[in-house]
Each structure stands twice: as structure tokens, then as C-alpha cells.
């Protein structure tokens, strides 16, 4: 009886983690005692030998060595893969206030939350821990759409993490149950419904668009179980209170939301499942068993993505069962075929190699030379540990299974062994490829294959495998087979697919295909355009929307992107370069955005030719994906963020006067002013410490506060993310208000922070005008102009459907000089200060901000200008040089001819007026000014005009400037 020995590492070092998975954490290696129990249990059941070693010093996993009869080794191998106690981890970010008592002073788990966590941990066999998030402070990572300069000193909602650790399916089951629990804590109703697992993806639709529409219509959260549930890890029999006796948790779907919305969503899911059940079709196909095990263990997220993209369900055999048949269920033939095609494409990444040891000469009288078992054991463990491939030895043959670089490294190691050099070798690589690439790889009259065989002296043979893939065998006697494999890989197809609207196809192809033939010949790439009928029959290439595929040998893959750019040259920017743009929106807002804000999301999709896709609810991800043209996705992201609220907290020291101040009429007036001017809502959060009664007779009449219990004192800021850059000014004004009422505040972290100056203004220090304001400013009160300009210009351009907004600077750039009198900056309404109102809502037709002044007078009136100029003399110097709109530039250019009548300065230090050139704004009456650096020098500057200027009074200067500006009709 032949002995079959295999050595493999689990979990593999190439473990694949999907990018959309929330907080991906590497799996923890199993504890030695747990692995020992599993190995002893497997040996007792299957009657064979199992040994194990820590792989990579125990940081990656364990390397197992199993030897015995083949019929017993394979079930034992499957048992080790399925039940190996590898700890998987995932984390859910949650607001600390939701699950903790007194989250800022003495955080402890709420009693009802602790009880629910214990119930979930017991039902799912997972371990749940509450830990502080490393990103608790807002100053570390600003959220998407929030200007980092506008919220320094504020703290976003404090979060902690629910870290879930468990084997196999435990983590995913526990994550769904925890998400349902968090929804219940926020006041939502939850229910579950049971639908056959095979129908889940079919009901959800391609890319889950049907499921998203149900969530839109009912304003609910729908949590699906994993389609790969019950394949890995111990079998879990839930003992949940609401569903006693349920043994198959892979069929359970959870729904949370308002009560009637949950009922509607459940009914819609049931109706869809009943209708889809009648149209389900299935298709069987064959894959090498070890490739199936590798897919389920290492490419689970890719398999889930394939099923979600195509609205299909794939039924896999048990891990390690040596069964090769999979069944694909779907409601449409195209979806089923595309799923099989995608899985087969995934299988092509897994290689198989054989290394046969043949005797140098054959003699009937002498027994054949063999390797002893101790040598084989050491070799298998060493090769598998070093390369990561699974290595098998049977009947004087080494077999290697794994990814291409792992298999190649294993063959190289065997070639270098001294004991192997006593034998003849036959090395064989097995490569799997799609049938559609058969002619591509062979070339015209098998020219490519014949050339490789002649060059490297290897044999290449094609073998039929199944309806979708075929096998390529590359065999040789020495290391030349590795060279042949390299040359073959250079001829394997590399492809790229993308979307081009069908209206452009004929224009790109040209008359008789001239245009596309020229492009293909230039880059050596084959291009295939699919019309509507072919696209419908195909279901898309790499992505569901792709209708063009470009294919070339791997050695020429660098030209694929160049060809794509050439094809896209004549496509309108709004229709080309479809990409995925991701932005982070807190999970708790997704249900509201999908429900109440659905009409705005559809409007954004229509205007930008994009699609907004929310993450699967069960992943607990904050990442929202926008799929659309590259020129439009940024605009769609900015428009979407307009509807996302933003909250931040400002903590203050404990104060006995704070409750009284927050209840005063002045505070209410102040809050209303901030809301009116900045569109920022300030809400006090004052929780005084709870007194506890004292012992004895005094208990009825007095109480004391527990030591260390200081209560909670903070202010919460609410605004839209589009107005987030006003948060800093609102916080500064609140701090000044509290200081005026004898309430202490924590020192601002931005008070002494060095900020980037305005390089444009600093480049012209001799211009002290209102347009080019000096760089001196109160840094913590107002943002630097360059930051406002960059942020606001981008937002206006992206948020407005008007194309002109992409090129015009907004007319609301504002700036304050450094305040000498801090009280004037934070005074109550009526002190003469004016601020800028927020942007109007999308769709109102208003694209500029309007200034709020105390008298609400028309901005361009002469009387207002005169009064403002006269007020400059009496106002402090710090409030005079506000930046103005640039729309005065053209009119002010006409002041040049009249400026000669104004006095010219004798020196820069004594100047009181004068022109600054055609493109500069008029300076204030008392601001220092310099003569024009562009105009010609006149003798009047040095002559008697300068002497007359020294004697002229300030009042005359003001009257002269007022008269000139009135004549210009400003």
C-alpha cells in the first residue's frame, strides 16, 4: 500500500483580505494546546500520523504534516483545514455614548448592553471585547468632506471598538447580531425572516441594486448572512432567545428600522423569494478539489463579490472532501455563465507541478532506489515552510500546489537537493486557462508554442478539462522547463476591460475599421467592442458595465493603458473613464440617506451620470462607493456630502455657573445668532454629578456627590459638512461668550499653532489693499485665505451644475486683520460685525453668498460707500482691511485717470493716498499706500504735489476719495 504524505501551512501567508472589509485584521495563530487537541482527535479518528510546527515563528499559522493511506489522509487534511482553531478578528466602530455610562469621566458598560453582549457571545461562540479606538480624537483623521482647518480644537464623537474574535463563521455571525443590537439601542425595531440561502443573492439582484431599492423605499437596514457560511469553522447551533430551535442560521435575514417599514421590507423580501423560486436555474461544473479549498479559504471575499455582482449563489462541497463539483444557482442564464467564467478565471491563478524521480538505469534483478521516510518527512516540511506551497510525496513523485511563485520556488528547491541528483528527473507544470484563449496562446499555426518548444527543448501539450477551461502541460528533464514556463507566461493573455457608450463605437472603429486597426497595430493589442446584443449575452467583462475588452500577451501588458487612452480620446469626458470613488460616511447616516434623502441621491446620479452604492450592511463598513466618469465622481461626492450632517464636541471644565449661563436669555440669543450667521447649531450638554444620600439621620435632608464623579460638561456643534469650515469661528465665539460670563474653557489647541501663510499676499507686501490683504490676521478666528479659497472653490465647482462655477473664483473670500480689541470680534448682535451666510440649498438657483449687514442696504449704493469710508477713521485699524469681492476690478481700473488729482506721497512711510495701479482696489483712508509700480514716474511725484499732500488734512482726503468713487457710479 502506497504511503501518501502531504505538508501544508494553514492559514496561508498569502491570505487575501478584501479592501471593503471593515477594519481588516490579520488572523491570530491558534494556541498550541488547541492545535494539539485537534491533531490528536484527527489521528484517533483516521488512524494516521500528524505532526505540526509553527510557521514563521508562530506569527502566520501552523505547518501540518500528514502521512498515511490516501483514503485516510484526505479526510484528515480536510478536518485540519475546517476546524483548525485559527482566530479571525473584526471590529465595529461605535459611539461610546451608545454603550457606555458616563463615557467621558468614568466609562463603564451599560448593564443591558453587557447582558446582550454575553448573549451574543454565547450564541455565536465568539469573544467580544470593548476597546478604545486608536482614532478617538478627531484631530487625528478628519472625516471626508470636512475642512481640516475648520474644526481644529473640536472633537468628533468619541468612539470605541467592539472587537470580535472567533473561529470560522463566528465573527461574521456575531458582527451581524451586534449591528442589530446597536440598531435596537438607537430605538429601531428589529425582526428576522427565514429565506433559503440559495435565493439570497438572487433576491438582492446584481450589485444588490434590488436590495438597495427596498432599503430606500422602506428606510430599513437589511443584514444578509454570508453566502459561504458553514463551510469553515465549527458548526454553530444558535440558542437565541427570539428563535429557539433554529438550527440553520445561514437562512436568517435580519431587518431593522421603523416598525411599519420593517413589515413592508419583510413582505417585499418574501414576495420576491416566492417569485424568484420559480425561475431559478442551476448549472454544474468541475474544478480541481484543491483549488476549491484554496478559493474558500483564501479568496472568500472574491467569491462573495462574484456572487453579489451576478446575483447568483455558488454551492461548494465541504472543505477537504476531494469533491470537485460546484453548483451555480441563478435566475438568468447570462448571470450563471458569467459567474462560472469568473470562478474559472480565479482558478487559473492556482498552479500544479510534478517532479518525478526516475532511476538512472533499469535492472530487473535489483530493487529500485527509493527515499527513506525520514528524508521525505524532513524535505516536505522544509520545502512547505520555506515556499508556502502544499507539497505532496507519493510513489517517487513530488507534487506542488499553490500560486505560481510558490510552485516555482518549490521546484527550484528540489532541483538543488543532493539526494535528488542521483535520479533522472521529469518536471511537469500544469497551467489552467480559459477556452477562449486557446487560439490566442497557440498563435497562427501553433507558431508561438512551436517557437517556445524549439528554444527551450520542452514539451507543451494542450488537454481538454471542462466546458470552460483547458490545461496546458509544460514538461522537461531539467531546469530548462522553468525557462519554458517563463516564455509561456509571457504569451498568456493580459487584458483590460472598460466601458464606452455604444454611440461612440462606430466613430472609434472608423470606416472599415481603419481607426481601430491603426491603434491596434500601433500598440500590438487586440480590441473587441461588444454591441448591445453581445453585451446582453455576455453580461459584461471584468465589471458588469464593461463592454470593451483589450487583450495582449503579458510581455506587452504595459501598452494596455496606452491603448485605452487612445480609444478614449474622442469620448466626451462625461462619458469616459468610469472609476470607483470612495468616501467615508458614518454608518449611522446610511439608513437616512437611503430613505429620506433618496430623492436627492437620484438627482445627483442623474446630474453626474454616476451611481451611488452603499456598502453591504452586514460588513459594518462606512465606505460609500460612487461609480461614474472620472470627471464627475468628485462632483457627485461633494454633492452627496452636502446632505451628510457633521457633529463635533467641545469639552469645557466643570463649572457651577454653566447650567445658569446655558439657561439665560443671552445664551439663547447667542445660539440663534450663530445658527443664523454660520448655519451651526450649538447644543449644551450639561450633566451634573448625581448626588447620593448620606447615611444616618441626615440622609433625608442632605446628599453628597461621590468622589471622582464630576459629571459631563460639553457643547455639541451640528452642521452640514459643506459648512464645516465655519466651525472654528463658531467655537471661538462660543469660547469668548463663556469667558465673558466667567465660565472657564480649556486652552485652544490652535491658539499658538503655526499656520501656513498666504503666499500670494506675502509676495506683495507693499500692497496694503483690501483685495491683497496683509498676512497679519487672528489665526484662530478666521481661516487662512488660501485654505478658504481652495476648499470653497472646489466645493462651489463640484456642487453647482453650472459649468462656469468650475472656472470662477467665489465672491465670498473673507479675511480679518489681527484684532487689537478681542471683545469687538465676539460682541453680541448689533455691534456692527457682519459675517457670510452659508450656501443656499442645491436647486435654488443661487450660486453666490450674500452678505448680511446690520442695515441690509444695497451694497453698491453711493451713500453706503461714503458712510463706510467715513467710518474707517473712527474704527480700529484691525477692522478696516477686509478682503472684498474681486468684481470691482474692472470699474476701479477707471480710477487711474482721476488718481493724478490725488496727492502723491513723498515717501512710503508718509503716504496717505494715491493710486495703486489699474488692477488694485482702493485703499482705506488711513492705510499706508505706495505709488504705482506700473505707471510712469512723473515729476509731479517729486515736485510741489508732494508738499501740498503733506499739508492737506485727513478730511479733505476722505472727501476727495468719496467724490471720485461717486462719479464712477460704484
Q: Which of 656-670, 731-745, 807-821, 874-888 has the lowest mean pLDDT?
A: 807-821
Dist CA 420 CA 681 (whole Å): 78
H helices, E strands: number in the chain: 35, 32
pTM above 0.85, yes or no: no
Q: What mean pLDDT is predicted for residues 285-292?
A: 94
Range scoring the smallest mean pLDDT among 89-98, 220-229, 614-623, 859-868: 859-868
Question: Which range (156-165, 166-175, 844-853) has the least confidence?
Answer: 844-853
pLDDT digits (tens, 9 = 90+) for 401-452: 999 999 999 999 999 988 888 888 899 999 999 998 998 898 888 888 999 9
| 123 and 115 Cβ atoms separated by less than 8 Å | no
Fold of 350-371+387-494: TATA-Binding Protein (3.30.310)
| Residues 29 and 60 sit within 8 Å (Cβ to Cβ) | yes
679-704 mean pLDDT: 59
Strand partners, 431: 472
Task: Considering only the C-alpha atoms of the chain, give the largest distance between any 2 of them, rounded to a whole number of Å.
Answer: 130
* Arithmetic mean of pLDDT, 115-134: 88
Mean predicted confidence (pLDDT) in 185-204: 94
| 8 Å CB contact between 591 and 262 | no
Q: What Cα–Cα distance (Å) separates residue 413 from each residue in 386, 410, 485, 674, 893?
A: 9, 5, 17, 72, 81
What is the pLDDT, as a whole number, of residue 689?
Answer: 64
**pLDDT over threshold 90, residue 482:** yes
**Residue 963: pLDDT over 80:** no
> Is residue 807 predicted with pLDDT exceeding 50?
no
Q: Band of the pLDDT at 961, cuts 50, 70, 90?
A: low
Mean pLDDT of 41-46: 93
In what helix (H) or strand (E) does residue 159 lie, and over which residues does it extend?
A: strand 159-166
CB 167 within 8 A of CB 234: yes
∠ CA 864-814-828, nearest 5°, is 70
Comparing 365 with 310, the larger pLDDT belongs to 310
What percentage of residues in the chain have a pLDDT greater than 90? 43
Indicate if the pLDDT at residue 965 is higher than 60.
yes
Q: Tens digit of pLDDT for each residue in 832-842? A: 333 333 444 44
pLDDT, position 816: 34
Burial 195-229 (b: 16+ CB within 10 A, else e): bbbbbbbbbbbbbbebbbebbbebbbbbbbbbbbb
Every domain of the chain with CATH number 3.30.310.210 lies at 350-371+387-494
pLDDT at 958: 61
**What does the buried/exposed string (b/e) look like for 645-666 if buried means 16 or more CB atoms within 10 Å of the residue's CB?**
ebebbbebeebeebeebbeeee
How wide is the angle at C-alpha 808 spanned by C-alphas 802 and 809, nearest 5°? 125
Residue 618: the pLDDT is 92
- The predicted model gives 19-31 an average pLDDT of 53
Mean pLDDT of 486-496: 93
In percent, the amount of the chain with pLDDT more than 70 equals 67
Write down the pLDDT at residue 422.
Answer: 80
What distance in Å separates the CA atoms of residue 756 and residue 750, rounded to the nearest whole number? 13
Which is higher by pLDDT, 619 or 370?
619
Strand order of the β-sheet with 578-584 is: 578-584, 623-629, 611-613
Which of 399-403, 743-747, 835-839, 913-917 is modeled with the greatest confidence? 399-403
Whether 663 shows a pLDDT value over 70: the answer reads yes
Q: Which residue from 669, 740, 817, 649 is spatially nearest to 104, judged by alpha carbons?
A: 649
Question: DSSP secondary-structure letter at 165?
Answer: E
pLDDT tens digits, 707-739: 444 567 788 898 887 778 888 889 889 999 999
The predicted structure's pLDDT at residue 697: 39
Q: What residues does CATH 3.30.1370.10 cover in the chain?
A: 578-643
Of the pLDDT bands very low, low, confident and very high (cuts 50, 70, 90), residue 302 is: very high
Query: What's 593's DSSP letter?
Result: H
- State mean pLDDT over 74-84: 92
**Predicted confidence (pLDDT) at residue 211 exceeds the cutoff of 80:** yes
Please report which confidence band the pLDDT of residue 150 belongs to, taking 50, 70 and 90 as the band edges: very low
pLDDT of residue 869: 52
* CA-based radius of gyration for the chain: 37
Mean pLDDT for the stretch of residues 150-175: 80
Tens of pLDDT, residue by residue over 338-357, are 999 999 999 999 999 999 98
For residue 203, what pLDDT band results from cuts at 50, 70 and 90? very high
Higher model confidence: residue 574 or residue 476? 476
pLDDT digits (tens, 9 = 90+) for 382-409: 999 999 999 999 988 999 999 999 999 9
Q: What is the pLDDT of residues 887-905, one digit of tens each?
A: 444 444 444 444 444 444 4
Between 882 and 494, name the one with better pLDDT.
494
The yes-or-no verdict on residue 871 having pLDDT over 70 is: no
Grade residue 953 by pLDDT with cuts at 50, 70 and 90: low
Task: Work out the average pLDDT over 737-763.
Answer: 63
pLDDT at 249: 75
Rounded to an integer, the average pLDDT of 56-81 is 87
pLDDT of residue 882: 40
**pLDDT at position 687:** 72
| Average pLDDT value for residue range 467-480 | 91
- CATH topology for 578-643? Ribosomal Protein S8; Chain: A, domain 1 (3.30.1370)
- Position 28 scores a pLDDT of 63
Nearest to 625 by CA among 343, 839, 305, 843: 305
- Say which DSSP state 193 is in: E
Query: 794 pLDDT band (50/70/90 cuts)?
Result: very low
**Residue 375's pLDDT is what?**
83
Pick the closest to residue 175 from 121, 132, 251 (CA basis): 121
The larger pLDDT score, comparing residue 965 to residue 252, is at: 252
pLDDT at 758 over 50: no
pLDDT at 959: 72
Residue 262 contacts residue 190 (beta carbons within 8 Å): yes
Q: Which band of pLDDT confidence, cut at 50, 70 and 90, is reported for residue 509?
A: very high
Mean pLDDT of the chain: 76
pLDDT at 184 over 80: yes
By CB atoms closer than 10 A (0-12, 13-18, 19+), residue 733 is buried
Whether residue 523 has pLDDT greater than 90: yes
Provide the pLDDT for residue 431.
94
Q: Which residue has the higher pLDDT, 923 or 639?
A: 639
The whole-number pLDDT of residue 373 equals 79
- Report the pLDDT value the prediction gives residue 60, as an integer from 0 to 100: 67
Amino acid at each position: 500500500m502506497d504511503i501518501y504524505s502531504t505538508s501544508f501551512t494553514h492559514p496561508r501567508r498569502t491570505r487575501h483580505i478584501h479592501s471593503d472589509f471593515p477594519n481588516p485584521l490579520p488572523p491570530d495563530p491558534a494556541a498550541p494546546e488547541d492545535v494539539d487537541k485537534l491533531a490528536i482527535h484527527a489521528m484517533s479518528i483516521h488512524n494516521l500520523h500528524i505532526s505540526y510546527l509553527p510557521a514563521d515563528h508562530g506569527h502566520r499559522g501552523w505547518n501540518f504534516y500528514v502521512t498515511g493511506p490516501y483514503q485516510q489522509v484526505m479526510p484528515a487534511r480536510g478536518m485540519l483545514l475546517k476546524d483548525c482553531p485559527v482566530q479571525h478578528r473584526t471590529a465595529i466602530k461605535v459611539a461610546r455614548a451608545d454603550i457606555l455610562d458616563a463615557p467621558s469621566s468614568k466609562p463603564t458598560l451599560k448593564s443591558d448592553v453587557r447582558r446582550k453582549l454575553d448573549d451574543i457571545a454565547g450564541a455565536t461562540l465568539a469573544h467580544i471585547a470593548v476597546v478604545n479606538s486608536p482614532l478617538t480624537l478627531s484631530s487625528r483623521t478628519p472625516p471626508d468632506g470636512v475642512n481640516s482647518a475648520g474644526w481644529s480644537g473640536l472633537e468628533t464623537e468619541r468612539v470605541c471598538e467592539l472587537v470580535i474574535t472567533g473561529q470560522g463563521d463566528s465573527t461574521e455571525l456575531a458582527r451581524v447580531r451586534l449591528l442589530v443590537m446597536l440598531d435596537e439601542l438607537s430605538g429601531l425595531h428589529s425582526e428576522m425572516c427565514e429565506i433559503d440561502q440559495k435565493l439570497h443573492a438572487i433576491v438582492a439582484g446584481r450589485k444588490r441594486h434590488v436590495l438597495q431599492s427596498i432599503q430606500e423605499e422602506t428606510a430599513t437596514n437589511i443584514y444578509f448572512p454570508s453566502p459561504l457560511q458553514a463551510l469553515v469553522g465549527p458548526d454553530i447551533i444558535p440558542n437565541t432567545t427570539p428563535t429557539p430551535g433554529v438550527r440553520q442560521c445561514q437562512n436568517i435575514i435580519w431587518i431593522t428600522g421603523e416598525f411599519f417599514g420593517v413589515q413592508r421590507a419583510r413582505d417585499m423580501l418574501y414576495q420576491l423569494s416566492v417569485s424568484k423560486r420559480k425561475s431559478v436555474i442551476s448549472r454544474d461544473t468541475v474544478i480541481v478539489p484543491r483549488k476549491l479549498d484554496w478559493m474558500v479559504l483564501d479568496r472568500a471575499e472574491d467569491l462573495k463579490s462574484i456572487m453579489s455582482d451576478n446575483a447568483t449563489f455558488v454551492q461548494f462541497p465541504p472543505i477537504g472532501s476531494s469533491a470537485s463539483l460546484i453548483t451555480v444557482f441563478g435566475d438568468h442564464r447570462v448571470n450563471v455563465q458569467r459567474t462560472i467564467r469568473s470562478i474559472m478565471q480565479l482558478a487559473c491563478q492556482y498552479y500544479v507541478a510534478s517532479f518525478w524521480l526516475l532511476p538512472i538505469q533499469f535492472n530487473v534483478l535489483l530493487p529500485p532506489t527509493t527515499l527513506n521516510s525520514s528524508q521525505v518527512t524532513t524535505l516536505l516540511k522544509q520545502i512547505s515552510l520555506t515556499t508556502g506551497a502544499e507539497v505532496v510525496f507519493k510513489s517517487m513523485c513530488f507534487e506542488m500546489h499553490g500560486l505560481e511563485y510558490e510552485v516555482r520556488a518549490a521546484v527550484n528547491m528540489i532541483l538543488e537537493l543532493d539526494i535528488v541528483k542521483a535520479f533522472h528527473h521529469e518536471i511537469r507544470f500544469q497551467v489552467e486557462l480559459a477556452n477562449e484563449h486557446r487560439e490566442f496562446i497557440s498563435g497562427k499555426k501553433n507558431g508561438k508554442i512551436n517557437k517556445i518548444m524549439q528554444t527551450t527543448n520542452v514539451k507543451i501539450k494542450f488537454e481538454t478539462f471542462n466546458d470552460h477551461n483547458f490545461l496546458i502541460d509544460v514538461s522537461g528533464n531539467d531546469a530548462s522547463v522553468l525557462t519554458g514556463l517563463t516564455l509561456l507566461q509571457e504569451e498568456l493573455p493580459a487584458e483590460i476591460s472598460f466601458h464606452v457608450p455604444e454611440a461612440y463605437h462606430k466613430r472609434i472603429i472608423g470606416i472599415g475599421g481603419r481607426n481601430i486597426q491603426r491603434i491596434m497595430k500601433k500598440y500590438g493589442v487586440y480590441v473587441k467592442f461588444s454591441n448591445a446584443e453581445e453585451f446582453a449575452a455576455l453580461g459584461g467583462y471584468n465589471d458588469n458595465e464593461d463592454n470593451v475588452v483589450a487583450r495582449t500577451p503579458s510581455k506587452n501588458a504595459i501598452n494596455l493603458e496606452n491603448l485605452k487612452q487612445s480609444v478614449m480620446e474622442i469620448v466626451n469626458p462625461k462619458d469616459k473613464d468610469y472609476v470607483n470613488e470612495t468616501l467615508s460616511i458614518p454608518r449611522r447616516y446610511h439608513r437616512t440617506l437611503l430613505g429620506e434623502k433618496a430623492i436627492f441621491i437620484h438627482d445627483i446620479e442623474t446630474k453626474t451620470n454616476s451611481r451611488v452604492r452603499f456598502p453591504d450592511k452586514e460588513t459594518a463598513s462606512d465606505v460609500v462607493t460612487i461609480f461614474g466618469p472620472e470627471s464627475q465622481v468628485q462632483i457627485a461626492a461633494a454633492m452627496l456630502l452636502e446632505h451628510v450632517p457633521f457633529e463635533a464636541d467641545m469639552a469645557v471644565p466643570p463649572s457651577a455657573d454653566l447650567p445658569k449661563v446655558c439657561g439665560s436669555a443671552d445664551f439663547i440669543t447667542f445660539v440663534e445668532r450663530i445658527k443664523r450667521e454660520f448655519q451651526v447649531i450649538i447644543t449644551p450638554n450639561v450633566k451634573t454629578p448625581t448626588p447620593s444620600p448620606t447615611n444616618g439621620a441626615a440622609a433625608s435632608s442632605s446628599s453628597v456627590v461621590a468622589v471622582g464623579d464630576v459629571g459631563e460638561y460639553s457643547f455639541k456643534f451640528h452642521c452640514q459638512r459643506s459648512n464645516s469650515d465655519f466651525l472654528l469661528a463658531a467655537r471661538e465665539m462660543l469660547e469668548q461668550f463663556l469667558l465673558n460670563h466667567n465660565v472657564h474653557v480649556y486652552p485652544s489647541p490652535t491658539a499658538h499653532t503655526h499656520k501656513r501663510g498666504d503666499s500670494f499676499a506675502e509676495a506683495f507686501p507693499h500692497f496694503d489693499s483690501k483685495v491683497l490683504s496683509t498676512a497679519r490676521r487672528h489665526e484662530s478666528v478666521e481661516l487662512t485665505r488660501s485654505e478658504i479659497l481652495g476648499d470653497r472653490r472646489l466645493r462651489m465647482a463640484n456642487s453647482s451644475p453650472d459649468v462656469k462655477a468650475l472656472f470662477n473664483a467665489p465672491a465670498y473670500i473673507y479675511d480679518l486683520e489681527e484684532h487689537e480689541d478681542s471683545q469687538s470680534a465676539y460682541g453680541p448682535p448689533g455691534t456692527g460685525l457682519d459675517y457670510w451666510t452659508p450656501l443656499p440649498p442645491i436647486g435654488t438657483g443661487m450660486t453666490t453668498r450674500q452678505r448680511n449687514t446690520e442695515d441690509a442696504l444695497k451694497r453698491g449704493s453711493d451713500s453706503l460707500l461714503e458712510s463706510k469710508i467715513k467710518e474707517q477713521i473712527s474704527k480700529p485699524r484691525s477692522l478696516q482691511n477686509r478682503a472684498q469681492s474681486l468684481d470691482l476690478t474692472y470699474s476701479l481700473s477707471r480710477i487711474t485717470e482721476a488718481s493724478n488729482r490725488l496727492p502723491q506721497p513723498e515717501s512710503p512711510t508718509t503716504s496717505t493716498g494715491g493710486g495703486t495701479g489699474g488692477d488694485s482696489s482702493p485703499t482705506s483712508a488711513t492705510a499706508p499706500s505706495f505709488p504705482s509700480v506700473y505707471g510712469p514716474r512723473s515729476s509731479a511725484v517729486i515736485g510741489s504735489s508732494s508738499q501740498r499732500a503733506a499739508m492737506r488734512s485727513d478730511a479733505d482726503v476722505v472727501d476727495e476719495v468719496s467724490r471720485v468713487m461717486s462719479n464712477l457710479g460704484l
